[in-house]
Structure 1
Amino acid sequence: MSDGSSDGTASDDSSDGTASGRGVTGWLRGWRPAVSMASRNLRRNRVRTVLAVLGVCIGVLAVAALGIFGNVLALGADDAIGDIGTQVVVSPNADAGVESLSAADVAAIRRAVDDPAVGDPAVVPLYSDSAVVEGASSQTFATVYGVEEPGLAFEAAEGRLPDRHRQGAIVGAGVAEDLGVGAGDTVGIAGTQVRVVAVLAESQTFSPVAPDDAVFLPESAFSADGYAQALVVAESGETARAAADAIREDVNAREERVDLFELAAIVDEINEFFDLLSTFLLGLGAISLVVAGVSILNVMLMSTVERRQEIGVMRAVGVTRRDVLRVLLAEAGLIGAAGAAAGTLLTVLLVAGLVAATPAVDAALVIDPTNGYYLLLALGFGVGVGLVSGAYPAWKAANERPVEALRS
């Protein structure tokens, strides 16, 4: 037997290609016996195999669990923040000597956002003051706003918000609870008795005007020369950004008459923080998978060294390099797949257990479809780590000369 014939050169590979057939069917036919033989080889060294699978399992568990936890935190923050990103607060620029927003300023703001490209958001100008509000048996200090069209920015829990606010008071949920009043009752504001026409729904998110702790009166109740601020209410954060840009370009074209406070900017910063946090957590989990990959690499190297003569005999009797490569890659892939599947299952059980043990965690956030991305990512990463870690040992074993392997 000469070294050339034993080495398995082009004739081996070509015969393998003939035996394997063509297309997907031939490809599967070539891998089936490789996977079967790989399974038997792994069962022969069960302790070593189990330890390698356990390493991948822990790595996958770390990646999936930390990724899901970071995503749940981000979803929870987004849910708590709610729609504040859809509002822009326009205030007079005191640095430029502007003390209040005039009717002309409000008209300019409305013209600036009255554009199909912007989305035509609602503009709600507000007078502002503060006063002691009295109920039948208690009193509280509250911000008092003057508003003409409250329905553009707020919703009522009791009573009905008028299309044009001409008389009566609209009371925030917090003020109504403190005073024990509802729609139809009377409150005292600055010594004047005013009938409550509606109670606002409790705000679920932060709002720049704090409607829960405020009372809204008609604009006619104020004698101020101009508005304290204007609230721009859009349908989305993107629309709010476009409206803010339009106001800067049009209203502040000649002088900086107004200041803009974009709540969407706060949302963007919070989202950036949680994106960074999720990336950091995924990085921590990936370290565990890298360690697992080193473990698989070690297992496969030891396996090929111990089975050097066995592989040499296989090559000598006509087994091609490609078949040897397939068997060893199949072993590494099976270790990675078994560990990834076990890690994914443990992640699901762990997350379910935490939800059951922690009532404060909203189950809807945990079962959000976006969390499935981290399960798939960890699953694919685990299998990939197995294949990558087994690639070098498999290549090394497949390319060793049969004569040298037999002599050892």
Structure 2
Amino acid sequence: MKRALTPARLPARDVLRTGAVGLRARRARVVLSALGIAIGIATMVAVVGLSESSRADLMARLDRLGTNLLTVEAGKDALGQEVRLPKNAVAMVERIGPVQHATGTGDVDARIRRSDLVPEERTAGVTTQAVRTDLLAALGGEVDRGVWFDPARERLPVTVLGAVAAERLGVTRTGETIMMNDTRVVVVGILKPLELVPTLDRVAMVGFPAAERHFGFDGHPTTVFERSTDASVEDVRAILARTISPGGEGGVKVSRPSDALAAKAATDKGLTTLMLGLGAVALLVGGVGVANTMVISVLERRQEIGLRRALGATRNAIRLQFLTESLLLSALGGATGALLGAAATYGFARFQGWTAVVPPWSLAGGLAATLLIGAVAGLYPAVRASRLHPTVALNAT
């Protein structure tokens, strides 16, 4: 009894070779279709990479600045009355065990003008604050030009300007003078921007003793800054209010400035999600391009399909051939897009001075997405090609 002959299966190597030959025969169309996939993947990889690079840079700056800074400000009591921090608030905070640095600033009622020729109401948006000599040590600030206060200078009518205040007043070097009310004061220093406390960038600072002597300051701080060990931040935070104002802690506000920067990193995720959505749309458009290319390929190659069927190729072999072409086309676009996205991330991060971060999962996820799209886009053309009858296909013109 004779056995029925069964068609031999193509080895995986021959399947890949056959699929690659189909792509090489239509290079221009393949390039354009792969480009759609590449744009989508490049967009997704670059969005994730730039978002992670930006977030990593922000967190690195937070680590350098320290996240152990707490700020205490006067609020309102239960009756809605303004609360004043005691004059010895800083000394009270310094007595807390884990505290490493404590300092304070106070609001001074002094109008700032560039010169006595400028009307008093034109203050350029610069306010005045009384500060202690240990402020920079507590906040990790640095002097850009000139000097900071010492025990002698804090008693004199001299000022140190924040970075924004100096810009608004048009002060570019030390030794220049500005007006505080009717008192001419000398600018002895200009600070670099303070990232954790940017409100001080818009301030003209004077020493506590000088503020009391020349500008009627009452000596009560309005803000106290405190640094402790990282491990004890929350414990110190829990007792700061009642340490400064026993029995009236409800009128004292304690905050952590670094939380604002950490929140900024979190809000970046919203933009990342939006951009990923745009990348997904581009990827979908690329998938439609792949599907279109494969459908046209089936229509153009009906005689080839009929000839292969007549020579013994099974429907599964035809399906596998066209599905392989679709997967190869998508993989080509995906790999190109991943490289372009990574290159864009590294280039932009280097331009910004960031540490470039391209998460491996974004590359793997992008390639997986392209293969999925390739499978979906090639499924219908592959099934359609396999259903062509050999006789009909060979007679097609």
TM-score of the aligned structures, taking structure 1 as reference length: 0.65
Deviations 1:244-303 (A, max 9, x none): 674235535964241134433433443333211111111112122123224434544665
Mean alpha-carbon deviation: is it higher for 333-342 or for 276-285? Answer: 333-342
Alignment partner, residue 333 of structure 1: 327
- Which structure's residues are more often helix, by fraction? 1
Mean alpha-carbon deviation: is it higher for 31-40 or for 163-172? Answer: 163-172
Give unmatched runs, 5+ long, in structure 2. 393-397
Alignment partner, residue 6 of structure 1: 6
Distance 2:223 2:84 in 1: 7
Distance 1:48 1:159 in 2: 66
**2:161 aligned with 1:172, yes or no?**
yes
Alignment partner, residue 351 of structure 2: 364
Per-residue deviation at 1:406? 5.5
- The alignment-based identity, stated in percent, is 18
Per-residue deviation at 1:158? 3.4
Distance 2:35 2:172 in 1: 63
Give unmatched runs, 5+ long, in structure 1. 17-29, 356-360
Q: Could you tell me which of 63, 80, 84 is aligned with 1:100?
A: 84
**2:238 aligned with 1:248, yes or no?**
yes
Q: How does 1:5-404 map to 2 (within 5 A)?
A: 5-6=5-6, 31-46=12-27, 48-64=29-45, 88-96=70-78, 99-102=83-86, 105-107=89-91, 109-110=93-94, 115=98, 122-132=101-111, 141=123, 142-152=127-137, 153=139, 154-162=141-149, 166-168=154-156, 169-173=158-162, 178=169, 183=174, 189=180, 198-203=188-193, 205=195, 207-219=197-209, 221-222=211-212, 224=218, 226-232=220-226, 243=233, 246-249=236-239, 251-252=241-242, 255-297=249-291, 299-300=293-294, 306=302, 308-309=305-306, 312=309, 316=312, 327-343=321-337, 364-365=351-352, 368-370=355-357, 376=363, 380=367, 383-389=370-376, 392=379
Distance 1:268 1:251 in 2: 23
Distance 1:250 1:40 in 2: 74
Secondary structure, aligned partner of 1:95: coil
Secondary structure, aligned partner of 1:256: helix
Distance 1:122 1:138 in 2: 41
Deviations 1:67-116 (A, max 9, x none): 5676788799999999697754311231345622225644554466x54x
Alignment partner, residue 23 of structure 1: none
Distance 1:251 1:336 in 2: 61
Secondary structure, aligned partner of 1:259: strand
Distance 1:234 1:279 in 2: 37
Per-residue deviation at 1:172? 0.4
Distance 1:51 1:187 in 2: 65
User: What residue identity is the alignment partner of 1:92?
Assistant: A
Distance 2:148 2:37 in 1: 60
Alignment partner, residue 27 of structure 1: none
Distance 1:49 1:135 in 2: 67
Distance 2:117 2:361 in 1: 53
Secondary structure, aligned partner of 1:203: coil
Distance 2:100 2:3 in 1: 81
Q: Is the 8 A contact 1:340 1:378 kept in 2?
A: no
TM-score of the aligned structures, taking structure 2 as reference length: 0.66
Alignment partner, residue 395 of structure 2: none
Distance 1:382 1:217 in 2: 62
Per-residue deviation at 1:376? 3.5
Q: Is the 8 A contact 2:241 2:254 kept in 1?
A: no
Secondary structure, aligned partner of 2:106: strand
Q: Is the 8 A contact 2:44 2:366 kept in 1?
A: no
Secondary structure, aligned partner of 1:280: helix
RMSD of aligned Cα (Å): 5.2
